[in-house]
Structure 1
């Protein structure tokens, strides 16, 4: 567990295990959220996890500095350079999947296999203009009513809450920490818009040595990331690959999820 000093801040990361290098990346999810999955993979891979820029332990010199997939990709390349890792595999989840697509496009040859699990690329959808409005409304909700209300609006929009008329869940005794509030502010003010509006560079992605697999949760049919994942796979002219659970299946089923990642990474590229 250590940090890398960057020109505009620092990047917190963890390394565990032995074997080929595998980067696990999320946004806004942190290294801590991926720890059980990383532990389940560490017998076969040198697993690198991290806190994305501006989140948790990866503080920026200017808290209002920009973020986005390209900057997150740049940070990861700086980290891999520091660790003297030339090529690596990558599992990116949600915003981390978008980071992975940006990294493959901007740094050709660095990634052997990218598993982009449910990238929320809302610009690929036929109703992208409506999704832009929805995203702006979520951000406005954050500024006017706080993080709790904004996360609620986000969960409804993404499809995690399917019945708008259902009674709200009972109030939680959990009071967000100062860091959790800061991470929420970072997400709504700097990451949400930049991630969902990212347009993948399809020409570069289809003319690369990197094998790109679009992962899709077997229980994600009700989520907007099901639609975006299918749309991205169609642009690559490749089928999606099923993974246990839904958008965050690795949280509840880390061992099974690790097995699915392992099966992708050991598969013969000529067959897939």
Structure 2
């Protein structure tokens, strides 16, 4: 199978690296974390048998450079980047969109701000903690992450963040060492890129994105186009709760994908198969 066609797209304050595979209706994949477009490498080929699959490195990550490296990040601007890609690759035709984690937050804003451009959104564990009844507790977590980042750096801040996401929420506990999680070789090879993007992710994306409050009434009105999804192993963890809360509020099914928050990485074949079914439902 041939590799993706790559391109660069100038957007406000940044240059986006994007990749396109396959043919058919457009499916835009929005990555979370610091993995960028490469986080979809294990599933994009299978999806491209049915769709024109586009993904990209979000602004400031990997090959997508910022004009001002110190620029503050906003969900609305990241959603604007996704819109520009839709306009480039699917002009005049609504597209299907999948977003994971912080990318799922972007997909929610894209849906509410530009519903005519989106046919269906699958949002996997968007950590929109502002919708939760105990949002104040999670604001305190983000404040601790920010303070730790400023005083001690990215890795200690990531440890605080990871601990706050887990079931027990034990503050300050370090995340499990990578060796305890068996990843496919292709995923393991991306570790260097992921680590390189960690300071930007934990310092800029986490505080801005987890402070974002979606328009819940607007999402409810558009819920026929929205699929809220979680990892089947994520129950009780913080990233699971907002999607579960919103699904309950909208009277919608919560679709459970294989694995946990990073099921896309740990169970790529099964994840991609269910994503295809979900997009067609």
Change (3 A) 1:167 1:114: closer
Distance 1:171 1:241 in 2: 27
Which SS does the other structure have where 2:61 is aligned? Answer: coil
1:7, CA displacement in angstroms? 2.9
SS at match of 1:23: strand
Which of 36, 51, 64 is the aligned partner of 1:45?
51
Corresponding residue number in structure 2 for 1:73 = 79
Does 2:244 correspond to 1:230?
yes
SS, match of residue 224 in structure 1: coil
Gaps of 5+ in 2: 1-5, 180-187
In the alignment, is the contact (CA less than 8 A) between 2:122 and 2:227 conserved in 1?
yes
Distance 1:139 1:209, change over 3 A: closer
CA 1:241/1:169 → structure 2, altered by over 3 Å: closer, same or farther? closer
The Cα shift of 1:103 comes to 0.3
Inter-partner Cα distance in structure 2 for 1:166 and 1:65: 30
CA contact (8 A) 2:26 2:89 kept: no
What does residue 143 of structure 1 align with?
150
Q: 1:127 to 1:164 in 2, by over 3 A?
A: closer
Distance 1:167 1:183 in 2: 19
TM-superposed deviation, 1:167: 8.8
Q: 1:266 to 1:181 in 2, by over 3 A?
A: closer
Q: Give the paired residue count.
A: 265
Partner residue in 2 for 1:13: 18
* Root mean square deviation of aligned Cα: 2.7
State how far apart, in whole Å, the 1-side matches of 2:192 and 2:259 are: 31
From the superposition, tell whether residues 133 and 108 of structure 1 become closer, same or farther in structure 2 (CA, over 3 Å).
same
Seen in structure 2, the aligned counterparts of structure 1 residues 188 and 44 have a Cα distance that, compared at 3 Å, is: same
Which residue does the alignment assign to 1:185? 199
Alignment correspondent of 1:270: none
Segment of structure 1 superposing worse, 37-46 or 115-124: 37-46
What are the Cα deviations for residues 155-188 of structure 1, in whole angstroms up to 9, with x where unaligned?
A: 111117877798986799x9x9997666223223
Q: Distance in 2 between matches of 1:177 and 1:36?
A: 15
Q: For 1:260-271, list aligned pairs within 5 A.
A: 260-267=274-281
Cross-structure match for 2:264: 250
Matched with 1:153 is 160
What is the CA–CA distance in structure 1 between the aligned matches of 2:207 and 2:275, rounded to whole Å?
A: 28
Whether the 8 Å CA contact 1:114–1:210 is kept in 2: the answer is: no
Deviation of 1:34 after TM superposition, in Å, equals 1.4
- Secondary structure in 2 matching 1:31: helix
Pair 104,156 (structure 1): closer, same or farther in 2 beyond 3 Å: same
1:97-136 pair list within 5 angstroms: 97-136=104-143
In structure 2, the CA distance between the partners of 1:166 and 1:138, relative to structure 1 (3 Å rule), is closer
Matches of 1:178 and 1:253 in 2, distance apart?
20
